[in-house]
Structures are given as structure tokens and as C-alpha cells.
Amino acid sequence: MVKLIALILLAAAVVSAADLPTKKWLNLAAIKTMVAAAEAEAQKRNVQVTLCIVDESGNLLFLQKADGAGLNTIQFAQRKARHAALYGSPSAKAAAQLKDGDLQVLAFPDAFPNQGGLPIKADGLTIGAIAASGAPSEVDEAIAQAAIDALMK
């Protein structure tokens, strides 16, 4: 009787575990792939930038300032990446809203209306974000996009 109850409990646990959703996340290998691609793109464009990668909640996973990048780029990169992760959209979208006169973007928590941060999506869900800062904004975004493209190959 005890064996039967144990077997039933084990079967229930297996069924419950099967119902749990699976989730993709940014592991160290993914981060290294993106960083290598971003560094290569920055070198190709001859710019010095700070790179920042965050998880889907905006928590810092990676931060690197190039020798020639300004100190202000450390916070800019983090804020761009955090915006992209939390809102699931490029930080350039907020910049466009502000340019169009939509001042409410300035009141959104953790919003940062400056191009260069991009969400990293897998299966339609945001799993993190990457940003670059230190070059012109469109170049920052191109560096971030090169990193995402390398990850999704």
C-alpha cells in the first residue's frame, strides 16, 4: 500500500513538472557571442563604446567600457539597455516619441529616450536587452543589432 501511494505521488510530481513552462535565458555563452560581435562591429566602425547586456528585468549581466569611451557612456548604456528590456522595444522608439512632442515618455519609470538599446527576443518574448553608447546613436544601435544578429544565427 505504501509503495502504491509513493508511486501515485511520483506520477503526480512528474505530471506537474511537465506542466511547467520552459524559458529561454541569456547564458554566459550567449553573452560572449554577443560581446564578440559587438566588439567586432565597433572596431569595424572605428568607435569606442560601452556595451551593456541586461536580463528581461533589466538586471545587469554584462558591462564593458572601451578605453576610449567616455565615463558618461557607462550610465547611458545601462539606461538604454534597461529601457529596451523593460518596455520590450528599442530605446529609439522613446526618442521618436519625444521628438514628436510626446512628453509623457519622460515620466515613464526607467524610460530613456535615446537610441542605442535593443530588446533581445526569443519566441516572441523579451529575454534581455543590449545597448551600446559612445558613438552616434545610430551607430550605437547598429553595434547592438550586430550582437543580436550573431546570437540569432
**Residue count of the chain:** 153
Q: Which three cell numbers stand for residue 59?
A: 538586471
Q: Which three cell numbers stand for residue 114?
A: 535615446
In the chain, domain spans = 24-152
pLDDT per residue over 94-150, tens digit each?
A: 999 999 999 999 999 999 999 999 999 999 999 999 999 999 999 999 999 999 999
- Higher local confidence (pLDDT), 108 or 8: 108
Surface-to-core class of residue 48, CB atoms within 10 Å of its CB (0-12 exposed, 13-18 middle, 19+ buried): middle
Instruction: Give residue 43's pLDDT band: very low, low, confident or very high (50, 70, 90).
Output: very high
Q: Give the homologous superfamily in CATH for domain 24-152.
A: Haem-degrading domain (3.30.450.150)
pLDDT per residue over 14-33, tens digit each?
A: 655 567 888 899 999 999 99
Lowest mean per-residue pLDDT among 4-13, 61-70, 71-80? 4-13
Q: What is the pLDDT of residue 19?
A: 77
